[in-house]
């Protein structure tokens, strides 16, 4: 990754966990009625064949990590657990009442916040409540995000007994100065302990999240973190750029000054070093920012061309429907998106009124669906084509003109009816997707909406 290319392409851009991206949702034509209709249609088309995915947002954390861009509520009061779980189960009932048969769960993920803020018995109550109104698909996958400082053996055993086989631990960086800046004090011994316990219990996929571009972070810090990570040999590694978006997240990302952040060139060097070290350790690049051992299901999904990307990130299987439960969760019917209210009190109020707590969303039109396929192809397979009329859109000639310069820079190979991202171009896949993003092209934002691409 040359300095020239970094300077050229380091612009604000989406991470494309959806298309259209959230800032470009047409909320004026969206309604809860339309959302329910799109969901019922998609459920009827796909539940029997492939099942659905379920994301449950558990927002509570005992302390604030200043690198985090998630919706969370900071509290040490654990009496908040039961009311929240009861509300999530009521929301699940509201969705199940829309369907003419029991949902078949293919994937279930607990995110946050800090899912392991919740006591093991309360997590058991949550999962059992969900499963009481559902069946399980063949090869289902349950996963959760665990905080190494508070994930206990009882957490891991309880969730394993409920069917969880994948866990992701947030590492970020092992350097003391960096940890203090992001308010995430987390010794290596804590990560080592929970990783080894998870492996002993029988978890088949253990993931570590590592971030580059954090305040005060250097190449030496990245190298030390990856060297320590190699000792534990997690099955997957998410190695991604810190998204500095304080204009969205407010004081949560102002625990340090902008001058404390690495330069774009320094981030580039951190990324290149990290990618090299991971490759030498046997990790193969999967999509954007993700690496996996050949034995992991995510690598196998890439080999079988079944990898998918949604609001939960990369997934080893695709479902047409993803239902999000809990505050701020986003749902996807393929034909539409919806997002829940972000305030816990408002969420409780709507649930108690028997109302699915959606506050905004977007119903995709024909053009949206075509562009969505192209961007998904690029993010998951690093290539896309328009050999079929179903993949053609009116502004494709203009898009190809935009891609010419990207081709000249060696980031893609253009054929008569397809493009393929080169190895050189993989770090710039967000920029390549932006050439297809018609809504972004038509409505250039007046202020910065997204993090920088590098």
pLDDT digits (tens, 9 = 90+) for 402-438: 999 999 999 999 998 999 999 899 889 999 999 999 9
Q: What are phi and psi of 57, to 5 degrees?
A: -95, 120
111 vs 144: CA distance, rounded Å: 6
Task: Say if CB 1 and CB 427 are below 8 A apart.
Answer: yes
| pLDDT of 85 strictly over 70 | yes
8 vs 15: CA distance, rounded Å: 18
| pLDDT of 247 strictly over 50 | no
- Residues making up the annotated binding site for S-adenosyl-L-methionine are 55, 67-69, 112-114, 145, 172, 184, 209, 243, 330
Q: What is the DSSP letter of 262?
A: P
- Over residues 382-397, the mean pLDDT reads 91
- Over residues 160-188, the mean pLDDT reads 95
Q: Which helix (H) or strand (E) holds 112?
A: strand 104-112
- Residues making up the annotated binding site are 55, 61, 65, 67-69, 112-114, 145, 172, 184, 209, 243, 330
**Residue whose token pair is 């048969």:** 101
Query: Which domains does the chain carry?
Result: 1-20+366-454 (1.10.10.920), 25-325 (3.80.30.20)
- Tokens standing for 77? 């009061």
Q: How confident is the model at residue 104 (pLDDT cuts 50, 70, 90)?
A: very high
CA 401 to chain centroid, in Å, comes to: 31
First-residue to last-residue Cα distance in the chain: 10
Residue 66: its pLDDT value, please? 75
**Residue whose token pair is 């202020």:** 447
- Over residues 391-396, the mean pLDDT reads 93
- Over residues 217-234, the mean pLDDT reads 97
- Over residues 90-112, the mean pLDDT reads 97
Residue 248: its pLDDT value, please? 47
Q: How confident is the model at residue 125 (pLDDT cuts 50, 70, 90)?
A: very high
Residue 334: its pLDDT value, please? 96
- Over residues 347-370, the mean pLDDT reads 97
- Tokens standing for 342? 């972000």
| pLDDT of 250 strictly over 80 | no
CA distances from 146 to 66, 152, 194, 315 (A): 18, 9, 9, 18
| pLDDT of 449 strictly over 80 | no
- Residues making up the annotated binding site for [4Fe-4S] cluster are 61, 65, 68
116 vs 193: CA distance, rounded Å: 15
Nearest to 114 by CA among 60, 151, 45, 75: 60
Task: Say if CB 226 and CB 210 are below 8 A apart.
Answer: yes
Task: Say if CB 202 and CB 161 are below 8 A apart.
Answer: no
- Over residues 160-173, the mean pLDDT reads 97
How many percent of the chain have pLDDT more than 70? 95
- Over residues 295-303, the mean pLDDT reads 90
150 vs 140: CA distance, rounded Å: 26
Residue 374: its pLDDT value, please? 96
Residue 447: its pLDDT value, please? 58
Residue 67: its pLDDT value, please? 73
Residue 68: its pLDDT value, please? 73
SS3 state at 168: strand
SS3 state at 28: coil
The overall average pLDDT reported for the chain is 92
| pLDDT of 251 strictly over 90 | no
Residue 256: its pLDDT value, please? 75
CA 258 to chain centroid, in Å, comes to: 25
| pLDDT of 252 strictly over 60 | no
Task: Say if CB 147 and CB 116 are below 8 A apart.
Answer: yes
């Amino acid at each position: 990754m040359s300095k020239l290319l970094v300077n050229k392409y380091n612009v604000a851009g989406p991470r494309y966990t959806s298309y259209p991206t959230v800032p470009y949702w047409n909320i004026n034509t969206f309604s809860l009625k339309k959302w329910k209709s799109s969901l019922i249609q998609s459920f009827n088309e796909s539940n029997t064949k492939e099942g659905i995915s379920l994301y449950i947002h558990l927002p509570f954390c005992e302390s604030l990590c200043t690198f985090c861009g998630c919706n969370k509520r900071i509290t040490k009061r654990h009496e908040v657990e039961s009311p929240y779980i009861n509300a999530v189960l009521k929301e699940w009932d509201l969705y199940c009442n829309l369907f003419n048969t029991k949902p078949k769960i293919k994937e279930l993920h607990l995110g946050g916040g800090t899912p392991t803020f919740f006591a093991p018995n309360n997590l058991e109550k949550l999962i059992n409540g969900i499963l009481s109104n559902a069946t399980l698909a063949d090869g289902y996958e349950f996963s959760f995000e665990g905080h190494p400082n508070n994930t206990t053996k009882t957490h891991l055993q309880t969730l394993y007994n409920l069917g969880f086989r994948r866990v992701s631990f947030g590492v970020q960086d092992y350097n003391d100065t960096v940890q203090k800046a992001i308010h995430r004090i987390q010794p290596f011994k804590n990560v080592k302990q929970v990783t080894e316990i998870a492996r002993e219990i029988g978890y088949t996929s253990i993931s570590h999240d590592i971030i580059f571009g954090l305040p005060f972070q250097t190449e030496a810090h990245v190298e030390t973190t990856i060297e320590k990570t190699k000792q534990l040999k997690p099955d997957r590694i998410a190695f991604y750029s810190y998204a500095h978006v304080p204009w969205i997240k407010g004081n949560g990302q102002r625990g340090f000054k902008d001058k404390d952040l690495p330069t774009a060139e320094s981030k580039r060097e951190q990324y290149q070093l990290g990618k090299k070290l991971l490759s030498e350790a046997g990790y193969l690049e999967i999509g954007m920012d993700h690496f996996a051992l050949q034995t992991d299901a995510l690598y196998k999904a890439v080999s079988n061309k079944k990898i998918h990307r949604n609001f939960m990130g990369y997934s080893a299987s695709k479902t047409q429907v993803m239902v999000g439960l809990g505050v701020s969760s986003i749902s996807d019917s393929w034909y539409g998106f919806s997002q829940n209210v972000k305030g816990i009190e408002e969420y409780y109020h709507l649930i108690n009124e028997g109302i699915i707590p959606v506050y905004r969303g977007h119903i995709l039109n024909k053009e949206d669906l075509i562009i969505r396929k192209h961007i998904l192809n690029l993010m998951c397979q690093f290539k896309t084509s328009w050999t079929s009329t179903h993949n053609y859109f009116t502004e494709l000639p203009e898009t190809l003109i935009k891609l010419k310069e990207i081709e000249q820079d060696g980031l893609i190979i253009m054929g008569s009816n397809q493009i393929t991202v080169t190895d050189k171009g993989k770090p710039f896949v967000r920029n390549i997707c932006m050439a297809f993003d018609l809504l972004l092209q038509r409505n250039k934002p007046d202020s910065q909406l997204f993090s920088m691409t590098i």
